[in-house]
Amino acid sequence: MLNTIRLLVQCQNKQYVLEQIRCASQVLPQLSAEKYNVKRKDFATVQSSDVNFFKTILGNERVLTDDNDVTPFNIDWIKNCRGQSKVVLKPKSTQEVSQILSYCNEKKLAVCPQGGNTGLVGGSVPVFDEVVLNLMLMNNIVSLDEISGALICEAGCVLENVDNYVRERNLIMPLDLGAKGTCQVGGNVSTNAGGLRLLRYGNLHGSILGVEAVKADGIIIDCLKTLKKDNTGYHLKHLFIGSEGTLGVVTKVAIHCPVLPKAVTVGFFGVENFENILQLYKSAKSSLGEILSAFEMADRDAISSTVKNLNLPNPISDYPFYVLVETHGSDEGHDGEKLNRFLSKEMESGLILDGTVTSEPGKMQTIWNLRENIAGAGLRHGYVFKYDVSLPQKHYYELVPKIKQRLGDKAIVVCGYGHIGDGNIHINVTVPEYTREVAGLLEPYVFEEVSALQGSISAEHGVGFRKPHYIHYSKDRSALQLMHQLKTLMDPNGILNPYKVLPEEC
Ligand code: FAD
Ligand code: MLT
Ligand code: ZN
């Protein structure tokens, strides 16, 4: 059994508390190594002398070795992967990270960097006995330039905490995701997290001004600039954005924070079919242009199972599809009026069947809760196969009915939802429990279909442990070879997050 209290405290914000209690009463997930038939690489095994060394750096309290303490760090958020680590280290400074990595590199001990452990592709937990390096105690805000909006923080800062901090100073974080109460800024950078407002604020390759990271050999790479323009040589920070802990451990981040919008308005609309969603998106871009901050969609199954499983209210009735539109602007009256006008116009045109528009914080939160909790709601059915893919918008929803048909009554729910503006759909397939039969029906089928449509098999969640052997569906051999060369250059012993991102062969 899992340790209930620890999961409650460490894993999730309030919205997921109940989910954690439920999961805690279940048996442990199968070991990843067995489930996915992985062979351990030739790393050293942690000895008591190694633990003693870690304790000389961190003290006894920040080196966890008790099984009950370590277990939650071995299990991922969707309870799909379980590693076998015996040691969790909690550094408090870049210097400590550097000392740990330098030692592990020397001893050929594998390391799994870990942030908030909300990753959805198994990248954040060990596969075998890798040492878990959790950044949660590196959670200080270093500086904020309120004029330029440049914030520097340590990698272990929880996204929501940083957002609250900058909001008090009239700024916002440029990214927002359902896991904001738990995920860490270092984890966001390492996964190049997308989220709910990428449409408006762009991705992290644009917002991240600088990064401090520690290489596998313990060398600290200082690219922590806060300048908007800096063309002095190679843009090394980008190597750490989205490399999922395989090239270095991110220890500090400089990020550009946009101005807090004075006016926020949210609309939630019922729509007849997917074609109408695309037409609505086109219309929203032209009618709401400069204030549009999110354009999200979810199908009936995604919303109805969230309403049912988590007992959440739906402010409108039952429709085949739903669209959530948000605006960030500077004039509440003007923005609200614009979105209301958009609703009336598109109800007249028939693109919207019914809808609601609100600027009241409580009501906006109710709508966002429905959207943000789809990820957690599916876990109530038992097990979720999750697919996070990018597709050309015209093909965005095609896979959902195909998968439904392919699985028939083998699935409880097959649903699609996501970030329409980014061409990023999430497809969740819920089943009572994991079976090889359903896994075999889904994979590589889903990736073959995505590849045939010129999509990407990982839009925003990363490759992690679950997708290295499918990466070739989206990455050319020449690119994979260069990735391997970079990995060898930066981590010659391969100690950083082995079994993740890179395929064995290319
Ligand atoms: P972890 O899960 O701990 O780690 C993720 C990866 O980054 C691992 O490979 C890990 O080794 C590496 N890593 C973590 N910290 C560091 C570090 N400091 N240095 C080097 N490597 C590191 N993702 C999106 O993109 N958009 C969404 O909208 C979104 N919504 C989500 C909603 C929910 C409810 C949940 C559970 C997840 C969601 N995710 C989303 C996925 C996840 O939250 C993101 O990938 C997030 O960025 C992970 O951050 P984390 O701190 O939890 O990292
Ligand atoms: C989302 O957009 O809700 C997240 O990426 C998580 C998920 O895929 O469920
Ligand atoms: Zn998403």
Task: State which H helix or E strand residue 142 sits in.
Answer: strand 141-145
Answer yes or no: is pLDDT of 69 > 90. yes
What is the value of pTM for the model shown? Answer: 0.96
> Are residues 110 and 164 located together in one domain of the fold?
no
249 close to ligand 1 (CB < 6 Angstrom): yes
d(CA 456, CA 422): 12
User: Ligand 1 centroid vs 380 CA: distance in angstroms?
Assistant: 21
d(CA 202, CA 93): 30
356 occurs within a structural domain: yes
User: Ligand 2 centroid vs 468 CA: distance in angstroms?
Assistant: 20
245 close to ligand 1 (CB < 6 Angstrom): yes
Give 26's pLDDT tier (boundaries 50, 70, 90).
low
Which domain does 116 fall in, by range?
20-134
d(CA 398, CA 394): 9
467 close to ligand 1 (CB < 6 Angstrom): no
Answer yes or no: is pLDDT of 5 > 50. no
Residues with CB under 6 A from ligand 2: 178, 374-375, 386, 388, 418, 426
Total domains in the chain come to 4
Q: Atom 8 of ligand 2 has which residue's CA nearest to it?
A: 426
265 occurs within a structural domain: yes
Write the pLDDT tens digit of every residue in 149-198.
999 999 999 999 999 999 999 999 999 999 999 999 999 999 999 999 99
Give 8's pLDDT tier (boundaries 50, 70, 90).
very low
Write the pLDDT tens digit of every residue in 432-474.
999 999 999 999 999 999 999 999 999 999 999 999 999 999 9
> Are residues 286 and 351 located together in one domain of the fold?
yes
CATH of the domain at 104: 3.30.43.10
CATH of the domain at 210: 3.30.465.10
Answer yes or no: is pLDDT of 332 > 90. no
Tell me which ligand sits closest to the C-alpha of residue 251: 1
Greater confidence (418 vs 5) lies with 418
Answer yes or no: is pLDDT of 488 > 60. yes
Helix, strand and coil content of the chain, in percent to the nearest 5, comes to 40, 20, 40
Tell me which ligand sits closest to the C-alpha of residue 191: 1
Contact 397, 274 (CB under 8 A): yes
Give 66's pLDDT tier (boundaries 50, 70, 90).
very high
Q: Which atom of ligand 2 is nearest to the CA of 296?
A: 2
How many C-beta atoms lie closer than 10 Å to residue 392's C-beta?
A: 11
Q: Atom 14 of ligand 1 has which residue's CA nearest to it?
A: 187
102 occurs within a structural domain: yes
Query: Residue 338: CB partners within 8 Å, gap ≥ 6?
Result: 287, 288, 291, 327
Mutational pocket test of ligand 1: of 133, 191, 499, the residue with most ligand atoms within 8 Å of the beta carbon: 191
- Exposed e or buried b per residue across 450-475, where buried means at least 16 C-beta atoms within 10 angstroms of its C-beta: bbebebbbbbbbbbbbbbbebbbbbb
Last-in-domain residue among 74, 108, 134: 134
> Are residues 249 and 276 located together in one domain of the fold?
no
Q: What percent of the chain has pLDDT over 90?
A: 93
497 occurs within a structural domain: no
Which tokens go with 97?
A: 């990270």
Write the pLDDT tens digit of every residue in 410-433.
999 999 999 999 999 999 999 999
Q: Which atom of ligand 2 is nearest to the CA of 388?
A: 8
5 occurs within a structural domain: no
pLDDT value of residue 258:
98
pLDDT value of residue 333:
87
User: Ligand 1 centroid vs 155 CA: distance in angstroms?
Assistant: 12
Write the pLDDT tens digit of every residue in 120-135.
999 999 999 999 999 9
pLDDT value of residue 24:
40
Answer yes or no: is pLDDT of 6 > 50. no
Q: Which atom of ligand 2 is nearest to the CA of 178?
A: 3
Q: Once rounded to an integer, what is the mean pLDDT over residues 241-248?
A: 98
Answer yes or no: is pLDDT of 10 > 90. no
Beta strands across the sheet bearing 249-256: 141-145, 150-154, 249-256, 208-214, 220-223
324 close to ligand 1 (CB < 6 Angstrom): no
Query: Which residues face 213 on adjacent strands?
Result: 221, 250
Q: Once rounded to an integer, what is the mean pLDDT over residues 217-228?
A: 97
Give 506's pLDDT tier (boundaries 50, 70, 90).
confident
